Amino acid sequence: MTARLVCLPGDGIGPEVLNAALRVLEAVSYHFNLDVVTEHAEIGGAAIDACGTPLPNKTAALCEQADAILLGAVGGPKWNALKAEKRPERGLLDLRYRLNLFGNLRPIHPVPGTTQSSPIQPEILDGVDMLIVRELSSGIYFGERVYQPTFAYDTAAYTADEISRVVRLAARFAQQRHCSLTLVDKANVLATSRLWRNVATRIMKAEFPEVALDCMLVDAAAMQIISNPSRFDVIVTDNLFGDILSDSAAVLTGSLGLLPSASLSEAKAALYEPVHGSAPDLAGRQCANPVGMIRSVALMLRYSLNAPDAASSLEEAVNSVLRDGPRTPDLAGKGESVTTTDELADHIINQFRSKKDVRTPAHAPGTDTQ
């Protein structure tokens, strides 16, 4: 069966890391006999420049028909003067809302060979393997807002149904892992958090009695993620807290450039993107780390293309390269040589092909024949 993949390079380093990841995907697809057809479209600042809007109707329509979507990154100072509803980031928010991408998965798993770049002590990182499940299509990012020179407000609103579906999603992942789920909220202050806690407690007791539920205030969770991260298995939380905590957790891995994400819906559509932003200061320099994007491809293989063996093989290749080097500038230590975005992708492709069960044709997809 042919899988339709829509690629949204976006802005800044987005096109570079996406191009590197697509070369890796091409090699993996060849060896696992996956039929993937790709089509590129515009989003974010690139779409504003080309079409006058951050999410053109053509892009949205393509994504609605796709089996999966790969996104590079959006945003940059070039468009800072635009109103909030016209900025590049609005294109991504609108796409999430339009496709009902309510559940965002952000795995955090430090790999030996990169943790030396983390300021966290190695013994604290031992055994860390957490999954942060962030509600993605509601909350404060989508609520009513007003800005005036001397007054502003943002509205965070949730329904019980919106909370229920993401709690169930997180609970199902916890069932497959270590049967431990932590709800992160601010129930001592926020009415929405009290609703989250009530709904989650009811669902877990009735539907997932084998999964232990722990409720933790967000300030305590922020401290524990840094000081005692191995205590967490699966974390579920709202849109704002999930955004902040998952980016903070990147310090455990050594670089924000290593983290992937998957945004899932109740229907077919799913979007995969690295956690990092567009980093316009790095654009065009071939120094961005493509691993977050490549790991996002692995998540796509697992959750959208029904190719778990291909996903696992790719993840093993990535981890092998991260353990042994080479490294992009974000991970290179003092005096260590650095590699480029495309060169790191080449190393991952070569590591993938070196496995016994992988065929290596004379000119396989992804091979530089120049």
Q: Do domains 1-99+269-370 and 105-254 have the same CATH topology?
A: yes
The pLDDT value given to residue 316: 96
Arithmetic mean of pLDDT, 180-185: 98
pLDDT band at 363 (very low <50, low <70, confident <90, very high): very low
The total of other beta-carbon atoms located within 10 Å of residue 155's CB is: 12
Q: What is the pLDDT of residues 15-68, one digit of tens each?
A: 999 999 999 999 999 999 999 999 999 999 999 999 999 999 999 999 999 999
Catalytic residue among 243, 272, 330, 346: 243
User: 279-322 pLDDT, tens per residue?
Assistant: 999 999 999 999 999 999 999 999 999 999 999 999 999 999 99
Among this protein's residues, is 272 annotated catalytic?
no
Active site residue 97: no
The CA distance from 239 to 276, in Å, is: 16
Which whole number is the average pLDDT over 162-166? 98
Q: For the structural domain made of 1-99+269-370, what CATH number should be given?
A: 3.40.718.10
Is this structure's pTM higher than 0.85? Answer: yes
Report whether pLDDT(356) > 60. no
Residue with tokens 């670089």: 255
Strand runs (DSSP E) across the chain, as ranges? 2-10, 35-40, 68-73, 103-108, 130-135, 145-148, 151-154, 180-185, 212-217, 234-237, 260-264, 270-274
CB within 8 Å of 93: residues ≥ 6 apart: 141, 142
346 classed as catalytic: no
Task: Label residue 357 by pLDDT band (50, 70, 90).
Answer: low
- Which pLDDT score is estimated for 365? 37
105-254 under CATH 3.40.718.10, yes or no: yes
Is 126 part of the annotated catalytic residue set?
no
Place of tokens 């943790």: 115
For 11-50, list the strands marked E by DSSP.
35-40
Please tell me the predicted confidence (pLDDT) of residue 127.
Answer: 92
Domain extent listing, the chain: 1-99+269-370, 105-254
Spot the catalytic one: 49, 219, 281, 324.
Answer: 219
Report how far residue 93's alpha carbon sits from residue 141's, in angstroms, rounded to the nearest whole number: 8
Q: Is 141 a catalytic residue?
A: yes
